[in-house]
Amino acid sequence: MTPTDLPRVHIATDHAGMELSAHLVRHLSAKGYDVVDHGPRAYDALDDYPSFCLNAALAVVADQEAGTPALGVVLGGSGNGEQIAANKVKGVRAALAWNLSTAKLARDHNDANVVAVGGRQHSVEEATAIIEAFLAEPFSNDERHVRRITKIAVYERTGEVIE
């Protein structure tokens, strides 16, 4: 991918992922990504991560709706709470990735637009590789995956469960 092909990356974290987040902002920016940091700006062991993650997820959806390629990265100690928060935003498909395979499958099969990673679960090098794999993997557009994602989107919009 050339820098013009790269998606904008919206990143957010809680206190447990701040070191990883700072590394990723530098690392991904150096690779040509347009990285938007949604915070936090200062370490607070009692921070409330939902606002940071929700803002990153909202920005991903807004960019995508405007035709700007964008993906999100949400970080925490485990990544679980951050993924849950991001998934509350209409239009977000956030996946918790814990290795290269789950990161790639999140994009390839599920067209996930946000990845959650646990900063306390991986070394900086491992987490960086997982996130790079997620960002680089395209959606397959396979009919069965499109069909399944469509059923989820219909439920999200209408509350109707399609068999």
109 is catalytic: yes
The half-sphere exposure of 97 on its side-chain side, counting CA atoms within 13 A, is 34
70-76: strand order across its sheet = 35-37, 8-13, 70-76, 114-118, 94-96
125 is catalytic: no
Q: What angle do CA 135, 136, 140 make, to 5 degrees?
A: 105
Helix (H) or strand (E) holding 36: strand 35-37
Of the residues 10, 38, 82, 122, only one is catalytic, namely 82
- In the chain the first and final C-alpha atoms are separated, in Å, by 38
Of the residues 15, 27, 109, 145, only one is catalytic, namely 109
Centre a 10 Å sphere on the Cβ of residue 153 and count the other Cβ atoms it contains: 13
- List Cα–Cα distances, 138 to 1, 77, 105, 107, 120, in angstroms: 11, 27, 10, 6, 27
157 residue type, one letter? R
Active-site residue set:
82, 109
